[in-house]
Structure 1
Amino acid sequence: MDELMSASKEFFRQPLQMKREFSNLNDGEQFRAEGYGNDKVRSKDQILDWSDWIYLKVEPEDERNLALWPKHPSSFRDALHEFVVRCRRVKRDVLRAMARIAGLDDDDQHFVDQLGGRATVHARFNYYPPCPRPDLVMGIKPHSDGTVITVLLVARGADGLQVLRYGVWYSVPSSSTHALLINVGESTEVMSNGMFRSPVHRVVNSAEKERISLAMRSG
């Protein structure tokens, strides 16, 4: 986690021209999901999130578009690959525990099996630079994940993540070390008939501090 967060910071702190080598715009115009950039602009009146991101398909491994994987820093690709491999075990263990909580003791692979043998996993690195007027923008607008499960890697001391519960926004406490947070996705909420709820969440900005996170979305 240390190596991956360090490599992420180094990537986002590069000059814009270097980051655009991995742009999510084909020929500077046509938007695609993968690559470096930010929101797709659909209207001149659209309010954009105050963040940059790089979005990569990481599984299945044979479907990776390595042309969009940053080459600098040199540690980025290996660190991401290692993290993806280790996340497989984290997701499996969490989903098996959820199945047991749901009373599926004879089939604790139930939610794991829903991912299938070639589950699609995307990695989204989010960079939130300091904002001079954080009261006017959102790092990421309120949303819930339309996945089975999301493993969120948050850099140490990174404030800003908030979760909506009964109409009130609660701040998720930051950690003095890197932290893994688990988000249940909408697909799991449906499969569990609402036993596990997919939380609505957002990120608010800071006027002084940058924030980096990595969301590994499965399913």
Structure 2
Amino acid sequence: MFRTFVSGLILLLPLIITLAVVAWLGQFIIDYVGPSSIVGHALTTIGFSFSASQIVAYVIGLIVFLAVVYLLGLAVESRLRSHLSQFLDSTMRRIPVIGNLYDLIQRFVALMDKNDVEGLKSMSPVWCFFGGLDGAATLALLPTPEPIMVGDKAYHAVLVPSAPLPVGGCLIYVPAEWVQQADVGVDKLVSIYVSMGVTSPLKIPPLPGPGPRKGNLTAT
């Protein structure tokens, strides 16, 4: 009876996990853009101009927001894209502290835009070996090939995405000799993190000899 039960459970397990992930994503979205969130309050404020009901006001505000985003999308797909992008970038980057944060996020979001060739070239996938080449390894993104010097030792700033939402993560300064170019594309790296490692290749090409030293990494 136990074996039969386990067989049925294994059959249903993919469905159960899928529903759990969908429920988690739904709760995540509600927490950040639902009526009780900061974004939700902003949308409700827009809708209050048309209705006194909080739910109706939220729906109206959401429709107005989606319409504005769609109109911006039409503008982006037209010849106005470069002008809008330059105006937004120049405005945000002038703000102290916020400008640096915006620049980092803008470069990361550009990785998701396959039409943005410069964005894809601005970062390159790398392997980070914590503790040396025989230590634990993780796939990360290298924002710039130029190392920084901490005392007399060279370090690389790498972005380690989070799974399953690679738009988050952490910034780590890793000794330069622990960083090597990864023979995977940016799309594949994002796919690995989104799938929480399920889409990892079963065999990875051999690593190119000893770790790189200062100035040996180049963006791809």
Q: TM-score range by the shorter chain?
A: under 0.3
Instruction: Please report the TM-score for the alignment, with normalisation by the length of structure 1.
Output: 0.22
Q: Which has the higher strand share?
A: 1
Question: Which protein, 1 or 2, shows the higher relative CO under an 8 Å CA cutoff with sep ≥ 6?
Answer: 1
Q: Which has the higher helix share?
A: 2
**Could you say which structure has the larger radius of gyration?**
2
Instruction: Please report the TM-score for the alignment, with normalisation by the length of structure 2.
Output: 0.22
